[in-house]
Protein backbone atom coordinates (compact mmCIF):
# COMPACT_ATOMS: atom_id res chain seq x y z
CA UNK A 1 0.00 0.00 0.00
CA UNK A 2 2.80 2.39 0.88
CA UNK A 3 4.57 1.70 -2.41
CA UNK A 4 1.41 2.29 -4.43
CA UNK A 5 0.86 5.70 -2.73
CA UNK A 6 4.45 6.74 -3.50
CA UNK A 7 3.98 5.76 -7.14
CA UNK A 8 0.79 7.85 -7.34
CA UNK A 9 2.54 10.88 -5.81
CA UNK A 10 5.42 10.58 -8.27
CA UNK A 11 3.02 10.37 -11.22
CA UNK A 12 1.15 13.49 -10.01
CA UNK A 13 4.41 15.45 -9.71
CA UNK A 14 5.41 14.44 -13.21
CA UNK A 15 1.98 15.50 -14.50
CA UNK A 16 2.27 18.96 -12.88
CA UNK A 17 5.77 19.46 -14.28
CA UNK A 18 4.55 18.50 -17.71
CA UNK A 19 1.68 21.02 -17.53
CA UNK A 20 4.05 23.80 -16.40
CA UNK A 21 6.39 23.03 -19.27
CA UNK A 22 3.48 23.14 -21.72
CA UNK A 23 2.41 26.58 -20.41
CA UNK A 24 5.97 27.92 -20.60
CA UNK A 25 6.36 26.53 -24.09
CA UNK A 26 3.09 28.15 -25.23
CA UNK A 27 4.14 31.47 -23.66
CA UNK A 28 7.49 31.39 -25.43
CA UNK A 29 5.78 30.63 -28.73
CA UNK A 30 3.37 33.54 -28.21
CA UNK A 31 6.22 35.93 -27.36
CA UNK A 32 8.06 34.78 -30.44
CA UNK A 33 5.03 35.36 -32.65
CA UNK A 34 4.53 38.87 -31.20
CA UNK A 35 8.18 39.76 -31.76
CA UNK A 36 8.07 38.42 -35.31
CA UNK A 37 4.89 40.37 -36.16
CA UNK A 38 6.34 43.52 -34.63
CA UNK A 39 9.54 43.12 -36.62
CA UNK A 40 7.60 42.68 -39.87
CA UNK A 41 5.37 45.70 -39.22
CA UNK A 42 8.36 47.84 -38.38
CA UNK A 43 10.06 46.81 -41.62
CA UNK A 44 6.98 47.82 -43.61
CA UNK A 45 6.67 51.19 -41.85
CA UNK A 46 3.21 50.48 -40.42
CA UNK A 47 4.35 51.22 -36.88
CA UNK A 48 5.18 54.94 -36.30
CA UNK A 49 8.60 55.68 -34.91
CA UNK A 50 9.17 57.42 -31.61
CA UNK A 51 9.40 60.96 -32.99
CA UNK A 52 6.18 60.42 -34.92
CA UNK A 53 4.34 59.56 -31.74
CA UNK A 54 5.09 62.97 -30.18
CA UNK A 55 2.03 65.22 -30.54
CA UNK A 56 1.97 69.00 -30.57
CA UNK A 57 0.52 70.36 -27.37
CA UNK A 58 -0.69 73.54 -29.09
CA UNK A 59 -4.41 73.80 -29.85
CA UNK A 60 -5.54 73.57 -33.45
CA UNK A 61 -6.51 76.96 -34.83
CA UNK A 62 -8.75 77.15 -37.88
CA UNK A 63 -8.90 80.48 -39.72
CA UNK A 64 -12.44 81.44 -40.63
CA UNK A 65 -11.18 83.89 -43.23
CA UNK A 66 -7.81 84.39 -44.93
CA UNK A 67 -5.57 86.79 -43.05
CA UNK A 68 -4.37 89.97 -44.68
CA UNK A 69 -0.69 90.08 -45.48
CA UNK A 70 1.14 91.99 -42.79
CA UNK A 71 3.91 94.28 -43.92
CA UNK A 72 4.72 92.04 -46.88
CA UNK A 73 5.71 93.59 -50.14
CA UNK A 74 3.68 92.74 -53.18
CA UNK A 75 5.43 90.83 -55.95
CA UNK A 76 6.65 92.77 -58.95
CA UNK A 77 3.96 93.55 -61.47
CA UNK A 78 4.14 92.00 -64.91
CA UNK A 79 2.48 94.69 -67.00
CA UNK A 80 1.60 92.31 -69.81
CA UNK A 81 -0.24 89.94 -67.45
CA UNK A 82 -1.84 92.36 -64.99
CA UNK A 83 -5.47 91.42 -64.50
CA UNK A 84 -8.42 93.71 -64.89
CA UNK A 85 -10.15 94.52 -61.66
CA UNK A 86 -13.29 92.47 -61.08
CA UNK A 87 -16.61 94.25 -61.28
CA UNK A 88 -19.77 92.60 -60.04
CA UNK A 89 -23.39 93.65 -60.06
CA UNK A 90 -25.12 93.13 -56.72
CA UNK A 91 -28.72 93.46 -55.66
CA UNK A 92 -28.09 96.86 -54.11
CA UNK A 93 -25.81 98.24 -56.81
CA UNK A 94 -22.35 97.84 -58.27
CA UNK A 95 -19.10 97.15 -56.48
CA UNK A 96 -15.53 97.32 -57.69
CA UNK A 97 -13.54 94.38 -56.30
CA UNK A 98 -9.79 94.10 -56.05
CA UNK A 99 -7.99 90.83 -56.58
CA UNK A 100 -7.79 90.14 -52.83
CA UNK A 101 -11.55 90.51 -52.41
CA UNK A 102 -11.76 93.93 -50.78
CA UNK A 103 -14.41 96.14 -52.38
CA UNK A 104 -13.92 99.75 -53.39
CA UNK A 105 -16.46 101.28 -53.24
CA UNK A 106 -20.07 100.08 -52.99
CA UNK A 107 -22.57 102.25 -54.83
CA UNK A 108 -26.27 101.81 -54.16
CA UNK A 109 -29.28 102.71 -56.30
CA UNK A 110 -27.39 102.98 -59.58
CA UNK A 111 -29.48 104.30 -62.47
CA UNK A 112 -28.07 102.23 -65.31
CA UNK A 113 -29.43 104.61 -67.94
CA UNK A 114 -27.47 107.52 -66.47
CA UNK A 115 -24.35 105.73 -65.24
CA UNK A 116 -21.93 103.30 -66.82
CA UNK A 117 -19.32 101.21 -65.06
CA UNK A 118 -16.15 100.81 -67.14
CA UNK A 119 -13.10 98.64 -66.48
CA UNK A 120 -9.79 99.80 -67.88
CA UNK A 121 -6.40 98.19 -67.35
CA UNK A 122 -5.20 100.84 -64.93
CA UNK A 123 -8.41 101.97 -63.26
CA UNK A 124 -12.14 101.38 -62.96
CA UNK A 125 -14.63 104.24 -63.31
CA UNK A 126 -18.31 104.85 -62.68
CA UNK A 127 -19.19 107.42 -65.35
CA UNK A 128 -22.15 109.74 -64.88
CA UNK A 129 -23.83 110.66 -68.19
CA UNK A 130 -25.79 113.46 -66.57
CA UNK A 131 -22.83 115.37 -65.17
CA UNK A 132 -20.45 114.03 -67.88
CA UNK A 133 -17.99 113.36 -65.07
CA UNK A 134 -16.85 110.24 -63.25
CA UNK A 135 -18.67 109.65 -59.97
CA UNK A 136 -15.49 107.91 -58.88
CA UNK A 137 -12.27 106.47 -60.25
CA UNK A 138 -10.65 103.61 -58.32
CA UNK A 139 -7.27 102.00 -58.79
CA UNK A 140 -4.39 100.30 -57.04
CA UNK A 141 -0.94 101.85 -57.43
CA UNK A 142 1.95 99.45 -56.83
CA UNK A 143 5.61 100.26 -56.32
CA UNK A 144 6.54 99.16 -59.84
CA UNK A 145 3.70 101.19 -61.37
CA UNK A 146 4.71 104.29 -59.42
CA UNK A 147 8.13 103.98 -61.04
CA UNK A 148 6.69 103.65 -64.57
CA UNK A 149 8.63 105.40 -67.34
CA UNK A 150 6.00 105.66 -70.10
CA UNK A 151 5.90 109.16 -71.58
CA UNK A 152 2.82 111.33 -71.08
CA UNK A 153 0.62 111.29 -74.19
CA UNK A 154 -1.44 114.51 -73.71
CA UNK A 155 -4.05 113.16 -76.13
CA UNK A 156 -7.38 113.86 -74.42
CA UNK A 157 -10.10 111.85 -76.13
CA UNK A 158 -13.57 110.36 -75.74
CA UNK A 159 -13.65 106.96 -74.03
CA UNK A 160 -14.61 104.50 -76.82
CA UNK A 161 -16.42 102.26 -74.32
CA UNK A 162 -18.97 104.92 -73.35
CA UNK A 163 -22.43 104.54 -74.83
CA UNK A 164 -24.19 107.85 -75.32
CA UNK A 165 -23.19 111.32 -74.14
CA UNK A 166 -19.62 112.24 -73.27
CA UNK A 167 -17.53 115.32 -72.61
CA UNK A 168 -15.17 116.45 -75.37
CA UNK A 169 -12.28 118.87 -75.82
CA UNK A 170 -14.74 121.49 -77.06
CA UNK A 171 -16.31 121.66 -73.60
CA UNK A 172 -13.04 122.80 -72.03
CA UNK A 173 -11.93 125.23 -74.73
CA UNK A 174 -11.73 128.79 -73.31
CA UNK A 175 -13.59 127.63 -70.20
CA UNK A 176 -10.95 128.78 -67.74
CA UNK A 177 -10.71 125.26 -66.30
CA UNK A 178 -8.01 122.62 -66.64
CA UNK A 179 -8.76 119.11 -67.83
CA UNK A 180 -7.91 117.57 -64.48
CA UNK A 181 -7.06 113.88 -64.15
CA UNK A 182 -8.67 111.84 -61.41
CA UNK A 183 -6.24 108.93 -61.88
CA UNK A 184 -3.12 110.96 -62.76
CA UNK A 185 -1.20 110.21 -65.93
CA UNK A 186 1.99 109.85 -63.89
CA UNK A 187 0.39 106.89 -62.06
CA UNK A 188 -0.30 105.22 -65.41
CA UNK A 189 3.25 105.23 -66.74
CA UNK A 190 3.59 101.44 -66.69
CA UNK A 191 2.28 100.85 -70.21
CA UNK A 192 1.46 102.67 -73.44
CA UNK A 193 -2.18 101.59 -73.49
CA UNK A 194 -2.57 102.36 -69.78
CA UNK A 195 -1.23 105.87 -70.36
CA UNK A 196 -3.59 106.35 -73.31
CA UNK A 197 -6.61 105.30 -71.24
CA UNK A 198 -5.75 107.83 -68.53
CA UNK A 199 -6.56 110.62 -71.02
CA UNK A 200 -10.12 109.41 -71.66
CA UNK A 201 -12.72 111.99 -70.62
CA UNK A 202 -14.19 109.39 -68.27
CA UNK A 203 -11.13 110.17 -66.11
CA UNK A 204 -11.25 113.96 -66.51
CA UNK A 205 -12.98 116.80 -64.61
CA UNK A 206 -12.88 120.61 -64.91
CA UNK A 207 -10.54 121.90 -62.20
CA UNK A 208 -9.29 125.36 -61.35
CA UNK A 209 -5.72 125.72 -62.66
CA UNK A 210 -4.21 126.43 -59.24
CA UNK A 211 -5.92 123.34 -57.78
CA UNK A 212 -4.90 121.03 -60.63
CA UNK A 213 -1.32 122.29 -60.74
CA UNK A 214 -0.96 122.95 -57.01
CA UNK A 215 -2.19 121.01 -53.96
CA UNK A 216 -3.93 118.34 -56.08
CA UNK A 217 -0.70 117.63 -57.95
CA UNK A 218 1.29 117.64 -54.71
CA UNK A 219 -1.04 115.03 -53.24
CA UNK A 220 -0.68 112.88 -56.37
CA UNK A 221 3.10 113.05 -56.05
CA UNK A 222 2.92 112.09 -52.38
CA UNK A 223 0.71 109.10 -53.20
CA UNK A 224 3.40 107.81 -55.56
CA UNK A 225 5.99 108.16 -52.82
CA UNK A 226 3.68 106.30 -50.44
CA UNK A 227 3.18 103.48 -52.97
CA UNK A 228 6.94 103.08 -53.24
CA UNK A 229 7.33 103.12 -49.45
CA UNK A 230 4.40 100.82 -48.59
CA UNK A 231 4.54 98.57 -51.71
CA UNK A 232 1.03 99.65 -52.83
CA UNK A 233 -1.69 102.23 -52.20
CA UNK A 234 -5.39 102.05 -53.01
CA UNK A 235 -6.96 105.24 -54.33
CA UNK A 236 -10.59 106.23 -54.84
CA UNK A 237 -11.08 109.74 -56.20
CA UNK A 238 -13.59 111.97 -57.97
CA UNK A 239 -15.83 115.02 -57.84
CA UNK A 240 -18.69 115.50 -55.42
CA UNK A 241 -21.30 115.12 -58.13
CA UNK A 242 -24.17 116.99 -56.49
CA UNK A 243 -22.01 120.05 -55.74
CA UNK A 244 -22.53 122.03 -58.96
CA UNK A 245 -20.93 125.42 -59.58
CA UNK A 246 -22.04 125.71 -63.21
CA UNK A 247 -21.95 123.90 -66.55
CA UNK A 248 -19.52 124.52 -69.39
CA UNK A 249 -19.21 123.83 -73.11
CA UNK A 250 -21.66 122.66 -75.75
CA UNK A 251 -22.32 119.45 -73.81
CA UNK A 252 -22.97 121.28 -70.52
CA UNK A 253 -20.31 119.52 -68.47
CA UNK A 254 -20.79 120.05 -64.73
CA UNK A 255 -18.16 122.05 -62.86
CA UNK A 256 -18.14 120.52 -59.36
CA UNK A 257 -17.58 122.57 -56.24
CA UNK A 258 -15.57 119.87 -54.44
CA UNK A 259 -13.18 117.02 -55.19
CA UNK A 260 -12.12 114.17 -52.94
CA UNK A 261 -9.45 111.50 -52.65
CA UNK A 262 -9.56 108.53 -50.31
CA UNK A 263 -6.39 106.48 -49.93
CA UNK A 264 -5.56 103.29 -48.08
CA UNK A 265 -2.28 101.55 -47.28
CA UNK A 266 -3.57 97.95 -47.16
CA UNK A 267 -0.43 95.83 -46.88
CA UNK A 268 1.11 97.26 -43.71
CA UNK A 269 0.81 95.57 -40.33
CA UNK A 270 -1.49 98.36 -39.20
CA UNK A 271 -3.74 99.36 -42.10
CA UNK A 272 -3.95 103.11 -42.55
CA UNK A 273 -6.46 105.27 -44.41
CA UNK A 274 -7.22 108.95 -44.91
CA UNK A 275 -9.43 111.25 -46.96
CA UNK A 276 -8.93 114.64 -48.60
CA UNK A 277 -11.48 117.22 -49.72
CA UNK A 278 -10.59 120.21 -51.91
CA UNK A 279 -12.80 123.07 -52.99
CA UNK A 280 -12.63 123.79 -56.72
CA UNK A 281 -11.20 127.28 -56.31
CA UNK A 282 -7.98 129.24 -56.62
CA UNK A 283 -5.20 128.29 -54.20
CA UNK A 284 -2.10 129.95 -52.84
CA UNK A 285 1.16 128.39 -53.98
CA UNK A 286 2.11 127.93 -50.34
CA UNK A 287 -0.93 125.76 -49.58
CA UNK A 288 -0.03 122.24 -48.43
CA UNK A 289 -2.15 119.21 -49.32
CA UNK A 290 -2.08 117.85 -45.77
CA UNK A 291 -4.07 120.88 -44.65
CA UNK A 292 -7.08 119.36 -46.43
CA UNK A 293 -6.89 115.93 -44.81
CA UNK A 294 -10.15 114.68 -43.30
CA UNK A 295 -11.52 111.39 -42.01
CA UNK A 296 -12.84 108.89 -44.51
CA UNK A 297 -16.13 109.07 -42.62
CA UNK A 298 -16.31 112.75 -43.59
CA UNK A 299 -15.82 111.92 -47.27
CA UNK A 300 -18.51 109.25 -47.06
CA UNK A 301 -20.94 111.77 -45.58
CA UNK A 302 -20.15 114.23 -48.36
CA UNK A 303 -20.26 111.79 -51.29
CA UNK A 304 -22.84 109.26 -50.02
CA UNK A 305 -20.37 106.52 -50.97
CA UNK A 306 -19.30 103.58 -48.81
CA UNK A 307 -15.55 102.97 -48.98
CA UNK A 308 -13.88 99.68 -48.01
CA UNK A 309 -17.10 97.85 -47.01
CA UNK A 310 -15.39 94.44 -47.14
CA UNK A 311 -13.10 95.28 -44.23
CA UNK A 312 -14.12 93.89 -40.83
CA UNK A 313 -16.37 96.45 -39.14
CA UNK A 314 -14.03 97.14 -36.23
CA UNK A 315 -11.05 97.76 -38.54
CA UNK A 316 -13.16 99.84 -40.92
CA UNK A 317 -14.42 102.01 -38.06
CA UNK A 318 -10.90 102.61 -36.72
CA UNK A 319 -9.46 103.48 -40.13
CA UNK A 320 -12.29 105.72 -41.25
CA UNK A 321 -12.72 107.72 -38.05
CA UNK A 322 -9.13 108.83 -37.42
CA UNK A 323 -6.32 110.74 -39.15
CA UNK A 324 -2.63 110.03 -38.63
CA UNK A 325 -1.20 113.03 -40.48
CA UNK A 326 2.43 112.14 -39.76
CA UNK A 327 2.03 108.82 -41.53
CA UNK A 328 0.93 110.48 -44.77
CA UNK A 329 3.59 113.20 -44.96
CA UNK A 330 6.70 111.18 -44.05
Q: Are 220 and 282 in contact (CB under 8 A)?
A: no
- Active-site residues, by number, are 181
Q: What is the distance between the terminal CA atoms of the chain, rounded to a whole angstrom?
A: 120
Give the single-character DSSP code of 185. G
Neighbours of 248 (CB within 10 A): 20
Are residues 233 and 221 in contact, defined by beta-carbon separation less than 8 angstroms?
Answer: no
Which residues lie across from 124 on neighbouring strands? 119, 138
Residue 234, strand partner residues: 140, 264
On whether the CB atoms of residues 257 and 183 are closer than 8 A, the answer is no
Alpha carbon distance 250, 170 (integer Å) = 7
* Residue 268: DSSP 8-state: S
Q: Which residues contact 258 (CB under 8 A, 6 or more apart)?
A: 239, 240, 243, 277, 278, 279, 280, 302
Give the dihedral of Cα atoms 220, 226, 227, 232; nearest 10 deg: -120
Amino acid sequence: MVKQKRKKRKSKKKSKRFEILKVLKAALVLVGVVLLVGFMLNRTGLIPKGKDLVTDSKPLVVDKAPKKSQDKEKPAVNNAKKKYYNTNKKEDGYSCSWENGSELPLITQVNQGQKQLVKHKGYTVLYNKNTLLPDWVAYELTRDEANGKEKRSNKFTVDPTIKGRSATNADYKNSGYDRGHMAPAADMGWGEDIMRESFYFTNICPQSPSLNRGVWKELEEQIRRLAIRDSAIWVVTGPVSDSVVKRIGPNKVVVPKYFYKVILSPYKKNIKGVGFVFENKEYNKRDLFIKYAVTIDSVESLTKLDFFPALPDDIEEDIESAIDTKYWVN
